[in-house]
Structure 1
Amino acid sequence: MSGGLLVAGTTSDAGKSVVTAGICRWLARQGVSVAPFKAQNMSLNSFVTREGAEIGRAQAMQAQAARVEPTALMNPVLLKPGSDRSSQVVLMGKPVGEMSARGYHGGRQESLLGTVVDCLEQLRSSYDAVICEGAGSPAEINLRRTDIVNMGIARAARFPVVVVGDIDRGGVFASFFGTTALLAKEDQELVAGYLVNKFRGDVSLLEPGLDMLKSLTGRETYGVLPYAHGLGIDEEDGLRVSLRGAVRESEVAPPVGEELLRVAVCAVPLMSNFTDVDALAAEPGVVVRFVDRPEELVDADLVVIPGTRGTVAALEWLRRRGFESALRRRAAEGRPILGICGGFQILGEHIEDEIESRAGAVDGLGLLPVRVRFRREKTLTRPVGRALGENVEGYEIHHGVAEVLGGAPFLDGCRVGAVWGTHWHGSLESDAFRRAFLRAVAADAGRRFVPAADTSFGALREEQLDRLGDLIEEHADTSALLRLIETGAPTGLPFIAPGAPS
């Protein structure tokens, strides 16, 4: 086998990421050497590869689904929004500057097509198949001229395209037809067909519509995937706790000890890598919820201030909404608080930022003896260490450099009383360390909570990826997908008017 496929979507959050991961896992289980690829990603959830490159977490998850090591080749362009109108551009894993949306789409994006095509070709030379994920919708006709992630890359690589539609939103047939009809003739020639996602009910009731869709478009539907809870792992757009979906207490696995442990995550602006709390949600008896009001902290045993692309903006948001006094009371009462990355910086005494916010000198919450200075170079590392008597692995993504002036050492940060801070994302995925941390939190919170001795976050992640592979194997036409990957889009596909100019 030698080829590839582009998984596009009628909308954002249609399920492109999980379908791509599912196809990668299914192919890997067949013994196919496969790699994921997304030319351009816009996300605040990112990951650091072993070579020190920053890529989208969705592509890292897809690489795990494919059972290969993630690299910068799999996501050559990453956009990290800093506001509604500008983003940091990360090229081949390294930041190259801030750019407005108009500036990026006005010229920079088009110039990157050669780079992303080169990355794709390098992957194709190393793997039997490359499964590409699109972004948003391929029918964003106002952006087609500079497109490098949907039909732009499909046409450059001559890859067939399968369009995923979220039927749970409604209007999926109109979305499939309209998406195809808005494309130029040369792009339509690559759209092989469709994949229905998140279907509830009796598939036989859908079949007449699928037959009509084929008669209207001349294209096959390659499967109807049922709605499945808890599959949104490491997504770009959605804010949800993935593994085991521990959001409502009624859905939480029974605790090992006598009580539940309640975790409140402050939903700060430009929140990044909120996937850090997935490992907490994976624990039986742990309830994780995102909050935006200080009164929601009252019954929380642990408050987490997560990472953010806008540390100073998040600090101002916390103050404006009344969180500062609530967090100060918690610290004075010895009730646990954990700050991760930007959240760690917010807990410090002082921030000097002429890079991210350009706000200059700003006072932090003063709950940890830490001073932070932002520098232009970004720290991108995969540290390993020990804390609470256990081995820990993590990854760092930050411009702010912390000077720790006191407190007890905690990873790269510190602890004062029940207030903890570190730059290390992903540290809670280290099972023994997570259990030790939760025992300390429960003791400080006065809870009779005992973490499960056998919870393996890595095993749970593998189970999730296998569930994605099962969805494809059991509900998609895998023989037809293999033919697409091997031979490309069928010839003679009809053109659907009106079509958009190329």
Structure 2
Amino acid sequence: MKAIMIQGTSSDVGKSVLCTALCRILVNDGYRIAPFKSQNMALNSYITKDGGEIGRAQGVQAEAAKIDATTDMNPILLKPTGNMVSEVILHGKPFADMDAVSYRENFVEQVMPEVRKSLRRLEAQYDVLVLEGAGSPAEINLKSRDIANMRMAHETDAAVILVADIERGGVFATIVGTLMLLEDEERARVKGIIINKFRGMKELLVSGIDWLEEYTGIPVLGVIPYFDVQIEAEDSMALSSLRLKKPKHEEFDIDVAVIRFPLISNFTDLDPLFEEPDVGVRFVSSLKDLKEPDVIILPGTKNTIADYVWLQETGLAQGILQQSRKGKKIVGICGGYQMLGECIVDKQENVIADETYSMLGLLPVETVLIDENQTTQVKGMNYAGQEMAGFVFHLGSSTTTRPIQSFICLDDGRQDGVYTEQVIGTYLHGMFQNRSFTREYFNKIRVEKDLQEVSGEILSDYERREQAYEMLEHHVRKHLDMDKIYELLDESM
């Protein structure tokens, strides 16, 4: 099998996006492509068709490769729950909660046979594997138990391309430093270098690139200009460094405040809001920053109870209730939906006795937490008769304490969530990716504020994603030496 691997000098250098670009380039050139990342740490999940949970990046890369995502593409997903503990998702299903020491010392070697099985299954189905590394391959204190970088390159005999982010500064030092910390056999696997997120005149880089190639003996395969592609982010780093850096809300007619929980998850649910005309989105983690928005969104969280305690301690719980009394609109998704209810009863196995927690009480809903996760892709009809699709994965179940309009009736007959003119709560991740619903929701707010409604054609979320993948493909292909990439793939067989 042909294999190529993107590794980085650090986290957030653009590995996921470049892997996505390569998946689309190679599939457009006629190859059967599969993405792979052995171990991923992320709070943004992707639910496969059979209900497995993997990292969002590998789901996106599979879409770019024009295939259905499977759990073999990310056999291990780590979801931080706080206090240096992560939930370990193995082949798409919850396996155990582990602290960092237990995971590294006891679990990593035990799980390698499962990782190899995933690789073998992918090898049997696809022509080329596009592997993504994690963080840096040169973390000296972690290398002995690192199964996401060079070990995977050895397992697949992949050519490694090292990516560095020039926006961070010191790009030549980070490249050379990373290479110096690799073992000889690891360094020999690095066949190319990419300088990513470049802004400015490439001519000013020429002397540096010439020096780098001569000093390292490794060719620079591309200098990729910065590109604000509308592709979903993988982890919480994107909250501060990528798409969520937007102008202040005063510049927009409609102000949306999103509660930034300490353990926020699946914030990619909110991506479509950045594309909605006249809508400004800002993340709020203190009462003074809440102010008086038009809409307050409580997104998903990895730990509903812990983040609700934080909501109370910051004063944001009272701030939300105050804004509710003023008639402001409120939306809760998954854990945020649970917080909008009356109470949560915790019946998980790690709880000695059932514990009941009072919540905001904005919806007539009671939630019971149990250990079993519900994960599945879903479709249905919402309260207004619009078709909607998305995915659900959550602990426990919520029931209404009195008759009230549900948010969506799923195709299997189940009712999900609650809808009122002011407050919406739902387990449906991806609700705003249903663009007709999103446009109608904000048009109602525009009418209430005496603003002009937005009309015109609404592209589906699938059409928008396809546009983004094609734009990314064109951009990266233009600036990357694809002839050399294909040479490396031929050599990897």
TM over 0.5: yes
Q: Hey, what does 2:238 align to over in structure 1?
A: 239
Q: Hey, what does 1:345 align to over in structure 2?
A: 338
Q: Hey, what does 2:152 align to over in structure 1?
A: 153
1:340 and 1:285 map into 2 onto residues whose CA distance is: 22
1:455 maps onto 2:458 in alignment:
yes
1:471 maps onto 2:475 in alignment:
yes
CA shift at 1:460, angstroms?
2.4
Contact (CA 8 Å) 1:246, 1:281: kept in 2 or not? no
Q: Hey, what does 2:133 align to over in structure 1?
A: 134
1:408 and 1:107 map into 2 onto residues whose CA distance is: 49
- Listed one character per residue, the Cα deviations across residues 239-280 of structure 1 (whole Å, up to 9, x for unaligned) are 34999878326998xxxxxx8322111101110001111112
Letter in 2 for 1:279: P
Output aligned runs, 1:102-251, within 5 Å.
102-231=101-230, 233-240=232-239, 247-248=246-247
1:292 maps onto 2:285 in alignment:
yes
1:229 and 1:68 map into 2 onto residues whose CA distance is: 24
Contact (CA 8 Å) 1:262, 1:287: kept in 2 or not? yes
1:60 maps onto 2:63 in alignment:
no
Structure-2 change in CA distance of 1:319 and 1:356 (3 Å): farther
Greater RCO, CA 8 A, separation 6+ = 1
CA shift at 1:232, angstroms?
5.6
Q: Which of 406, 425, 428 pairs up with 1:424?
A: 428
1:368 maps onto 2:358 in alignment:
no
Q: Hey, what does 1:39 align to over in structure 2?
A: 38
1:133 and 1:237 map into 2 onto residues whose CA distance is: 18
1:447 and 1:111 map into 2 onto residues whose CA distance is: 62
Unaligned runs of 5+ in 1: 253-258, 490-502
Give SS of 1:164's match: strand
- CA RMSD in angstroms, aligned pairs only: 2.3
1:66 and 1:415 map into 2 onto residues whose CA distance is: 37
Structure-2 change in CA distance of 1:130 and 1:232 (3 Å): same
1:53 and 1:330 map into 2 onto residues whose CA distance is: 38
2:480 and 2:118 map into 1 onto residues whose CA distance is: 29
Q: Which deviates more from structure 2 when the two are superposed, residues 359-368 or residues 92-101?
A: 359-368
2:69 and 2:250 map into 1 onto residues whose CA distance is: 33
Output aligned runs, 1:393-412, within 5 Å.
393-406=389-402, 407-411=404-408, 412=416
Q: Hey, what does 1:385 align to over in structure 2?
A: 380
Give SS of 2:194's match: strand
CA shift at 1:459, angstroms?
2.5
Structure-2 change in CA distance of 1:72 and 1:317 (3 Å): same
1:243 and 1:318 map into 2 onto residues whose CA distance is: 25
Contact (CA 8 Å) 1:18, 1:233: kept in 2 or not? no
Contact (CA 8 Å) 1:356, 1:374: kept in 2 or not? no
Structure-2 change in CA distance of 1:357 and 1:57 (3 Å): farther
Letter in 1 for 2:364: P
Q: Hey, what does 2:266 align to over in structure 1?
A: 273
2:239 and 2:457 map into 1 onto residues whose CA distance is: 24
Aligned residue-pair number: 481
CA shift at 1:74, angstroms?
0.8
Contact (CA 8 Å) 2:78, 2:86: kept in 1 or not? yes
CA shift at 1:389, angstroms?
1.7
2:165 and 2:427 map into 1 onto residues whose CA distance is: 36
- Listed one character per residue, the Cα deviations across residues 320-352 of structure 1 (whole Å, up to 9, x for unaligned) are 111122211222232200000000001111112
Give SS of 2:79's match: strand
Contact (CA 8 Å) 2:249, 2:281: kept in 1 or not? no
Contact (CA 8 Å) 2:55, 2:234: kept in 1 or not? no
2:334 and 2:244 map into 1 onto residues whose CA distance is: 24
Contact (CA 8 Å) 2:436, 2:458: kept in 1 or not? no
Contact (CA 8 Å) 1:395, 1:426: kept in 2 or not? yes
Q: Which deviates more from structure 2 when the two are superposed, residues 111-120 or residues 32-41?
A: 111-120
CA shift at 1:355, angstroms?
3.4
Structure-2 change in CA distance of 1:213 and 1:285 (3 Å): same
Unaligned runs of 5+ in 2: 409-415
1:377 and 1:25 map into 2 onto residues whose CA distance is: 36
Contact (CA 8 Å) 1:76, 1:92: kept in 2 or not? yes
1:302 maps onto 2:295 in alignment:
yes
Q: Which deviates more from structure 2 when the two are superposed, residues 220-229 or residues 461-470?
A: 461-470
Contact (CA 8 Å) 1:246, 1:287: kept in 2 or not? no
Contact (CA 8 Å) 1:348, 1:365: kept in 2 or not? yes
Structure-2 change in CA distance of 1:243 and 1:202 (3 Å): closer
Letter in 2 for 1:409: S
Give SS of 1:52's match: coil
- Listed one character per residue, the Cα deviations across residues 216-250 of structure 1 (whole Å, up to 9, x for unaligned) are 22111111001123456322243349998783269
Letter in 1 for 2:336: G
2:70 and 2:250 map into 1 onto residues whose CA distance is: 36
Contact (CA 8 Å) 1:42, 1:78: kept in 2 or not? yes
CA shift at 1:129, angstroms?
0.8
Contact (CA 8 Å) 2:165, 2:171: kept in 1 or not? yes
